[in-house]
Amino acid sequence: AQSVTQLGSHVSVSEGALVLLRCNYSSSVPPYLFWYVQYPNQGLQLLLKYTSAATLVKGINGFEAEFKKSETSFHLTKPSAHMSDAAEYFCAVTSGGGADGLTFGKGTHLIIQP
Amino acid sequence: DTAVSQTPKYLVTQMGNDKSIKCEQNLGHDTMYWYKQDSKKFLKIMFSYNNKELIINETVPNRFSPKSPDKAHLNLHINSLELGDSAVYFCASSQQGSDEQFFGPGTRLTVL
């Protein structure tokens, strides 16, 4: 069984400040990890993914995440927040075997203060 | 060109009715999925399907059934709709189970 925990249902940062969204996972097999972003009334867009290659993964819009097996974490960061980053962010995990789908965390709503 | 499309975008219906949501992907992917997003924005897998197997989340009521006429389509049929079925339903597809999934725009279902 797999699970994802996202700490903080809401995170508020000032424009230009560091963004840090936390994700911890539980998986009995080597995981494949993803971060998705959802803007209001839209579908999900992939930000980045970890699939057992480099542990530091760079994604779109200046986001990156680091896979830390010892901490079972995959936190999402961005050095400087922009107003357009305000959205809902989801961390997800899959085992990669067959078609078992993604297990999502409960999401973190990112608020950008001007 | 839309990669994963869903119709309709909005669906309002009465309790007890039967409805369908259609999903099409033009990415040539082997696997398609249906997810439910509740009012608290929690996303949960309902079904995943490729040409070999259908995997059903055991918590999904049997009133929900996926139908795949071909590799590019996975439609969702819902019988005897209940108030608790109100949610946003997302279709997605991927080339393999471990690959990124491409999501459709969602269908907001409201059961009155």
Q: Which of B53, B105, B106 sits opposite A99 (nearest CB)?
A: B53
- Tens digit of pLDDT for each residue in A24-47? 999 877 889 999 999 988 899 999
Q: What is the mean pLDDT of chain B?
A: 91
Q: State yes or no: cis peptide before B8, omega within 30 of 0.
A: yes
SS3 content of chain A, % helix, strand, coil (to 5): 10, 50, 40
Contact by Cβ (8 Å): B63, B78: yes
**Closest residue by Cα to residue A89 from A68, A57, A72, A112:** A112
* Closest residue in A to B54 (Cα–Cα): A99
> A96 vs B98: CB contact, 8 Å cut-off?
yes
The one-character DSSP state at A70 is G
Q: Which of B48, B57, B90 sits opposite A43 (nearest CB)?
A: B90
- Tens digit of pLDDT for each residue in B62-88? 999 999 888 899 999 999 999 999 999
Write out the two tokens for B41.
């924005």
> A97 vs B98: CB contact, 8 Å cut-off?
yes
The alpha-carbon radius of gyration of chain B (Å, integer) is 13
Q: Does A42 touch chain B (CB under 8 A)?
A: yes
